[in-house]
Amino acid sequence: MELDLAADLPPPGLAPALAALWWLKKGALRPGAAWERAHAICQSHEGQRDTDLVHGLAHWIEGDLGNADYWYRRAGSLRGGAIAADWARIAAELGAEPPAD
């Protein structure tokens, strides 16, 4: 499934973790309104491995590395080398194709 960022909203029926990833990318992997939407999705699905993983990425984007590492550990993972590369890794792990930049 391709995560198309051209629309104003994520595709209907997208799994919560993929919707949160969509919002993070829509917000250019920076804190802001799109980050807030992604974070809210992650918070509302705590305890689900996929959203916990995206939650870690969200906190990494925010610059809160301790919190990021906590969520990555909860998901049984580690932070990668760079935010954009980790976004792509997580997207692929969750069955999505990164959007064309």
- Which pLDDT tens digit goes with each residue over 8-63? 899 888 999 999 999 999 999 999 999 999 999 999 999 999 999 999 999 999 99
User: Does any domain span residue 5?
Assistant: no
User: Does any domain span residue 18?
Assistant: no
User: Does any domain span residue 80?
Assistant: yes
Cα four-point dihedral sign 40, 9, 30, 32: negative
Where in the sequence is the domain holding 87, given as residue range(s)? 36-93
Residue 3: what pLDDT?
74
User: Does any domain span residue 61?
Assistant: yes
Residue 41: what pLDDT?
98
Residues of the chain by 3-state class (helix, strand, coil), percent to 5: 55, 0, 40
User: Does any domain span residue 62?
Assistant: yes
Q: Which residues contact 29 (CB under 8 A, 6 or more apart)?
A: 61, 83, 84, 87
CA atoms of 56 and 89, how far apart (whole Å): 13
User: Does any domain span residue 84?
Assistant: yes
Tokens representing residue 53 in the block:
């993983």
- Indicate the number of domains in the chain: 1
